[in-house]
Amino acid sequence: MKPSNRTLWFLVAQAASRLSSIWIFAVVAHNTSLQGLGALSVATAMAATAQAIAPAVIGKPMATLPSREARVAEIPMAYSATVLLGLVVGALLGAASLGLHGAAQLALIGGAFGVPAGLVVEGTFWRLVYVRGPRAASMTLSACYVAQAALVAVAAGWVSATYLVVAPYLALAGVATVLLLVNRGATWPAARAWIVGHYRRWLPYVGGAGASLALVQVIPIAIAATSGLAAASTWRAGELAFGVTNLILGASAQLLLVREHDGDLRATYRRGATLLGCIALCNAAAVAFAPRSFLRLFLGPATDELESVLAQFTVQRVAMCVASVGTLVLIPVLRAGVVGALDLGSALLKLALLVAGGWIAGVAGGIWGLAAAEVLLALACTALLLARTRAAPLPPRRRHRRHRRRNTPGGGGQTVPAARAPSSSSAASSGGPSTTSTPYQVQERR
């Protein structure tokens, strides 16, 4: 499948996930209380961790393998481990909910169903990506989330306002059960083999994903603590304004994890960073030139505050796109522990610079701090990529074009052209080695 077609299907999957979440929130918001809506938000935050944990357990370890055959052979172990981890986390959340009551109990019950169901759905998506391709994976994921949204819409007319909070995750659990019955690919021996025998290949990625998730939750809290509650709404407005960039970045991340290993990592980094950076700039231009009345329909009173920090937000988004491409491109050439440490270190650096900038210059300073951290991460990724890849030597026919002189029996020198190396096609036909090479060769992973 062409990269453009793969990107399209990944965009479909991202759009289905986000739109179904918006629809479910709107349906529940019109049929429950403010406390119930808060419980839904907490349960949604817990269930959303599946979208980061599943690629850490399945997607990134598979991206380090050189061939499709190797990925298909190891997918059952990774998928089984993902399902088992979801069941364990769900059981722990369910046990924790027994000692609570009210909205807090509903939130944990929603998480107890939402986390394992989400891991099954997202794990099935990554399993199908490597086994059957992005088209089948995207269609399956979209069908799951559309079915969840439809079941919630039906439940809104039958379930009481109190228990409607957990309806989205009960619906997703039903969809996940159907997936498990249809696929039948999850087994205990396979899960045990991946968790016990291959934990070094995926556990650091989970740690890095956990650090990134924690940072996402902490950013609004840190901004509110340093700049006031109104500043937190400014950050949320910026996230919504750059929603197109976030959508394309999510699809691009999935595309980079399933790309073929051609060894041309520098070109991949250069093209991906340039393209996503331009998309972020176009997104910023659309926000800057959009009518203010149109922006107020979506952002409300935070529109004016966003306009005052749009430049800082633009720099932060462009740098984030470049850094995200860099960390994903480095996965095949770095150990999982190094990538996990890079994710953890970058999350701590972003938090530190966010807090420092917020104390110094308010919300604008906090966003500048995040932008500075993203720039430093992008520079670190560039340095690592240059250090772990090297330029390939030129083919012999290019390297020996210069003439050499040799003595002739008659005395004096005669200019004789160097012998021309055989081309790759002639070498292949004669059984000799091929002289073709990729523009960059990946060094051995350390």
3-state secondary structure the chain: CCHHHHHHHHHHHHHHHHHHHHHHHHHHHCCCCHHHHHHHHHHHHHHCCHHHHHHHHHHHHHHCCCCHHHHHHHHHHHHHHHHHHHHHHHHHHHHHHCCCCCHHHHHHHHHHHHHHHHHHHHHHHHHHHHHCCHHHHHHHHHHHHHHHHHHHHHHCCCCCCCHHHCHHHHHHHHHHHHHHHHHCCCCHHHHHHHHHHCHHHHHHHHHHHHHHHHHHHHHHHHHHHHHCHHHHHHHHHHHHHCHHHHHHHHHHHHHHHCCCCCCCHHHHHHHHHHHHHHHHHHHHHHHHHCCHHHHHHHHCCHHHHHHHCHHHHHHHHHHHHHHHHHHHHCHHHCCHHHHHHHHHHHHHHHHHHHHHHHHHHHHHHHHHHHHHHHHHHHHHHHHHHHHHEEECCCCHHHHCCCCEEEECCCCCEEEECCCCCCCHHHHHHHCCCCCCCCCEEECCCC
Average pLDDT over residues 122-143: 93
* pLDDT value, residue 126: 94
* pLDDT value, residue 193: 94
Q: What percent of the chain clears pLDDT 90, i.e. is strictly above it?
A: 54
Rg of the chain on CA atoms, in Å: 26
* pLDDT value, residue 33: 82
Q: 253-267, 349-363, 378-392, 418-432 — which is least confidently predicted?
A: 418-432
Query: Residue 405: beta bridge partners?
Result: 415
* pLDDT value, residue 261: 59
CA–CA distance, 147 with 283 (Å, rounded to integer): 31
Phi-psi region of 436 (alpha: psi -120 to 50; beta: other; left: phi over 0): beta
* pLDDT value, residue 69: 86
* Identity at 86, one-letter amino acid code: G
- All structural domains of the chain with their residue ranges: 1-197, 200-398+437-446
Q: Cβ atoms within 10 A of the Cβ of 42, count?
A: 17
* pLDDT value, residue 321: 95
Contacts of 86 (CB under 8 A, 6+ apart): 50, 115, 116, 117, 118, 119, 120, 123
Q: Between 265-289 and 243-257, two packed helices, what is the crossing angle to 10 degrees? A: 170
Q: Residue 434: pLDDT above 70?
A: no
Q: Residue 198: pLDDT above 60?
A: yes
Q: For residue 3, what pLDDT band results from cuts at 50, 70 and 90?
A: low
CA–CA distance, 120 with 193 (Å, rounded to integer): 18
Q: What are phi and psi of 413, to 5 degrees?
A: -115, 150
Q: Residue 91: pLDDT above 70?
A: yes
* pLDDT value, residue 260: 65
pLDDT, tens digit, 9 for 90 and up, residues 286-331: 999 999 888 888 888 888 888 889 999 999 999 999 999 999 999 9
pTM of the model: 0.78
Q: Which of 44, 52, 46, 51 is nearest to 21 (CA)?
A: 44
Q: For residue 381, what pLDDT band results from cuts at 50, 70 and 90?
A: very high
Q: Which two tokens stand for residue 445?
A: 């992973």
Q: Are 283 and 158 in contact (CB under 8 A)?
A: no
Please name the residue that has the structure tokens 């069908």. Answer: 143
Q: Which two tokens stand for residue 401?
A: 């074009």
Q: Residue 202: pLDDT above 50?
A: yes
CA–CA distance, 56 with 205 (Å, rounded to integer): 5
Q: Are 240 and 298 in contact (CB under 8 A)?
A: yes
Q: Residue 135: pLDDT above 80?
A: yes
Give CA 242 to chain center in angstroms: 16
- Find which of 197-206, 215-224, 251-260 is predicted with most confidence, using mean pLDDT: 197-206
* pLDDT value, residue 393: 46
* Identity at 397, one-letter amino acid code: R
Q: Which of 273, 276, 212, 268 is nearest to 244 (CA)?
A: 276
Q: For residue 100, what pLDDT band results from cuts at 50, 70 and 90?
A: confident
Please name the residue that has the structure tokens 């670190």. Answer: 380
Q: What are phi and psi of 158, to 5 degrees?
A: -120, -30
Q: Which of 62, 64, 61 is nearest to 445 (CA)?
A: 64
Average pLDDT over residues 54-59: 94
* pLDDT value, residue 120: 96
Q: What are phi and psi of 404, to 5 degrees?
A: -125, 150
Average pLDDT over residues 24-46: 85
Q: Residue 369: pLDDT above 90?
A: yes
Q: Residue 423: pLDDT above 80?
A: no
Q: Residue 435: pLDDT above 80?
A: no
Contacts 24+ apart (CB under 8 A), 347-350: 347/211, 347/212, 347/214, 347/215, 348/211, 349/373, 349/376, 349/377, 350/215, 350/374
Please name the residue that has the structure tokens 């772990």. Answer: 388
